[in-house]
Structure 1
Amino acid sequence: MSLDHRLSAEHEELRRTVEEFAHDVVAPKIGDFYERHEFPYEIVREMGRMGLFGLPFPEEYGGMGGDYLALGIALEELARVDSSVAITLEAGVSLGAMPVYSFGTEEQKREWLPRMCSGEILGAFGLTEPECGSDAGGTRTTAVREGDQWVINGTKCFITNSGTDITGLVTVTAVTGRTEDGRPLISSIIVPSGTPGFTVAEPYSKVGWNASDTRELSFADVRVPVENLLGEEGRGYAQFLRILDEGRIAISALATGLAQGCVDESLRYAKERRAFGRPIGDNQAIQFKLADMEMKAHTSRLAWRDAASRLVSGEPFKKEAALAKLYSSTVAVDNAREATQIHGGYGFMNEFPVARMWRDSKILEIGEGTSEVQRMLIAREMGLMG
């Protein structure tokens, strides 16, 4: 395959459009939402009108007919300004709508996708549990079939987009049976918001991503029709391994955006801030920091675009997705730390975007597979089973 990851004219037009939206609409407003820990409904609605939630889906389901590369481009440009808005889009598409599109029946697709693609509703993905994070196979939530219904009991935690006023559904993984040797059969089931017994907790108090929605969910004898099974019974774990592989590309694009945003803000500051009678950017120590930050963001961009290109062309991409996610999240943390250092005391003030970026960066080494999990996946793809 070609390693030329320069954008097509169509993708470049999308990039410019989202860049303009991020700077003109998101940047002036998001700081206030962030400080109030408030979900930015008006910004999300505008993203829906732009078609961002439908980027990688076919037009027949209300999508824009694009691809995963287009989604990554949008995520990177948004995250250059703010990660709360970017993760709302990432989770809404990669974790909310993509499972329905990839594994749903035709009826499920037509019922849910048009509204998710338009941003009218958000979908969420309920995998993580209080005692089951990286070990997704340790799921304790259960779903027992009683007649024509599934009865769900359990708890999920750290679920993005699960408690907003426009959340329409949460797809949850649950144990629906056991194999002959006692291993759990994990299935995926769609639970519409407002279903009796489905309780959404108050938002978490978080270090970062403060303008995004993250909640704990509980299910107490929640009953949904058997038709809400997503894909084959017992295949939920395999389904979401695939979804997480794809999602790592999206997180890598988001992390790249944050890393580049740190460069943008630090370069601007280094040209404007004066010390000892001259701009601090005249100092070689600052120049070298910025050069290293730019190098890392550039390489991160190549990594996620390579993985996305492989996905789009139907090639194997598991290792490349893990490589991209591992590298990009590390770079995001590194650049956020250096950006704060370049800004000095101002970098510790929330009025400066780098303060948000510093707070938002760390979760990128944890969510959708920790850095340790990425190293495990990479080693396995290299033939080291362990």
Structure 2
Amino acid sequence: MQEQVPFFAFRDFVPGVQQQLEQALVHVAQRGNFILGEEVGSFEKEFASYLAEGTTAIGVGNGFDALVISLKALGIGAGAEVIVPSNSYMATVNAVLQVKAKPVLVEPDKYTYNLTAANAEKAITPKTKAILPVHLYGQACQMDELMQLAHKYNLSVVEDCAQAHGAAFKDQLIGTFGDAAAFSFYPTKNLGAMGDGGAIVTSNALVADFAQQYRNYGQKQKYIGELVGVNSRLDELQAAILRIKLQHLHQYNAERQRLANVYLQELNGVGDLLLPQTAESCSHVYHIFNIRTKQRDALQNYLREQGICTAIHYPVPVHLQPAYIFLGYGAGDFPVAEELALTSISLPLFPGLTEQEQERVIKAVREFYQDK
């Protein structure tokens, strides 16, 4: 019996990196400084430098906290409306609710699945204070039009970069367009830690100053609380891991793009599959390789029978989740998001996926449609 093809697996894709990671953990343990120490400070500088000159990175506990703190830093709160794509993961909506603002859902482009300025503008009201574009699945949003829209209506922009480390629009890395950006370093991300972690990135000194205090109980100096904050600090161990992985992010992303191109070539024209489409001037780092088919459930079951693991991103759109009924949306309000939820399936794609494993996936998908 063949082994399963995993949807995702941690593999030593760049030889020797796993040993470096283990050594880094031991080094932090031996140093004995575990909170906001040398590793966090160094990672923050290195990550900011990787993204763009003049930016500041502030390490926090996770990507969700990065969103919440970014919104708070920009003064987004009760009475404000924030435009959010209707097909994003629930964490994006939760962050808006956490600051007591109102999430206003907007349909994405039906081919790229990203928020567009044209769709966002339709939802702007006098209460709108921010736009929260999500660089979904690893593809950069078309940021020039979104930033122009924000300037036109004097809105803040918080980029959700949780799935798109290293993606770019017109050769400018995402996370450097808006007033603030939120990154997640959840282990399976393109830049992933060995646990939870996140970062806020900004070129606004006031936002950076607020975030640095707020993440650490509101302290600028120990035991002196200048504002009411929280405990959301990137861990020293995770920062040490991220410093090493950041050095190889380009290589990891290049491998994801290579694997995606194989799928795009080999699955083109197969059955009713809709393959990922990348917008003009946008790059895609394929955190997720999402395909669409009206036979999604049957295809997923068939692949499971062949020992191939897949995932669905996401099976229930936010507006139909039980927790968000109070927002007042219902079935049929967001047909694009609902169609994506019914037709999307994500294929295995990660650095270290072997040629043989990918060939098994492609062969199985083709065979599924041959039997139809």
Q: Same fold by TM-score, threshold 0.5 exceeded?
A: no
Report the TM-score when normalising by structure 1.
0.24
Report the TM-score when normalising by structure 2.
0.25
Structure number having the greater helix percentage: 1
